[in-house]
Amino acid sequence: MATQPMNMNTSSASTAAMPKMANEKMDQLKKQSMNYFGWYLETIKHPSKVVNESKYFGLVSFLLHTIVFSYAFYAFLNSMFTPFAKYLAAEKSTFGFMSAAVPTGMDLYFKIFPLVLAGFVMFIAVGFVCKKFMVDPQTDMFSYTNQLATYSNSLLIAELLIALFIAVSMPGSLTAQGPNELIRNVEMLSLLFFIVPGFFAIAYTASIIVDRAQVKIDKIYVVLIAVMSNTVVFFIIMNIVRGQAQGKYMETIGKNFGKTIASMLGIDAG
C-alpha cells in the first residue's frame, strides 16, 4: 500500500515537468529560428561564402523555396482554372461532371506542392551524386545542400516578389482583366519565372564545380552530366504525372460519356 503515494508523487512530478519540457523545446525552436535567420542574412550578404552553421539549414531553405514557389504557381494557375471550372459546373447537362476533375483552391496547391518538391529533390540528389563521385568524395548531403542553399538563398526574395506580384496584380480570375492588362501581367510574370530558373542554374552549376579538389573529369563535363541527368529524370517524372492525369480524366470522361451524349440528344439515359 506504501507504493501508492510514491506512484502518485512520480505521476505529479512527470505532469509538472511536461510544461517545462515544452517551454524548453519552444525556446530551442526560437533560438534555432533566429540562428537560421542570421545565417540566411549572411548568405544574402556573402553568397559565395559557405558557412555550415547547422547541417539542416540548407534543407530548411529548400522547404521554404518549395512552399513559396508552389504558391506562386498555384496563384497563377488557380486564376485560370477557377473560371473554367465554374463554366463546366454551369453547363451541368453537358460538362458538369468534368468540373470536379479541374483542381482549384487548396486541392490545386497540394497537387502542385509535391511536384515542386520532387523537382528540388531531383536537382539536389543529382547534384550531390555528381559532386561526390566526380569532384569531391569528402562531401556529404548536408554540406552540399548548405552550399547550394547558400548560393541560391537570394532566390527566395525573387520568389516572394513573384507571389506578391500575383496576389496584388491579378484578380481571382484572369478573365476579369482587360486584354492589354492581361498581356502585360503575363509578360511580367513570365519574365520573373525565367529569372528564377536562370539564377538557380548559376547557383546549381557553382555548387558542383566550385571546389578545390582535383578531379579526373573536367568540371564542365561534370555539370553537363548533371544537367543531362536532371533532364532525363524530369521527363520521366513528367511522363508519369501526365499518364496519371490522362488516366484520371479519361476515366471520368468514359464513365459519363454515355450520359453526356444522351443529354445532348435529349434522351433519358436512366
Section 171-176 average pLDDT: 54
Strongest mean pLDDT among 22-26, 182-186, 266-270 = 22-26
C-alpha distances in Å from residue 227, one per residue of 61, 221, 266: 22, 10, 55
**Average per-residue pLDDT in the chain?**
76
The confidence score (pLDDT) of residue 213 equals 63
Q: Where are the domains of the chain?
A: 43-265
pLDDT of residue 269: 47
Instruction: Look at residue 170 and tell me whether its pLDDT is greater than 70.
Output: no
Q: DSSP letter string over the chain?
A: -THHHHHHHHHHHHHHHHHHHHHHHHHHHHHHHHHHHHHHHHHHH-TT----S-TTHHHHHHHHHHHHHHHHHHHHHHHHHHHHHHHHHH-HHHHGGGGGGS--HHHHHHHHHHHHHHHHHHHHHHHHHHHHHHT-TT--HHHHHHHHHHHHTTHHHHHHHHHHHHHHHS-S-GGGS-HHHHHHHHHHHHHHHHHHHHHHHHHHHHHHH---S--SS-HHHHHHHHHHHHHHHHHHHHHHHHHHHHHHHHHHHHHHHHHHHHHHHT----
- 5-19, 59-73, 102-116, 197-211: range with lowest mean pLDDT: 5-19
pLDDT confidence bin for 166, thresholds 50/70/90: confident
pLDDT (0 to 100) of residue 98: 57
Q: For residue 154, what is its C-alpha cell? A: 537570394
Q: Quick one: pLDDT at residue 17?
A: 59
232 or 19: which leads in pLDDT: 232
Grid cell locating 151: 548560393
236 confidence band (pLDDT: 50, 70, 90):
confident
Interval 200-213 mean pLDDT: 83
182 versus 221: the higher-pLDDT residue is: 221
Confidence band of 24 (pLDDT split at 50, 70, 90): confident
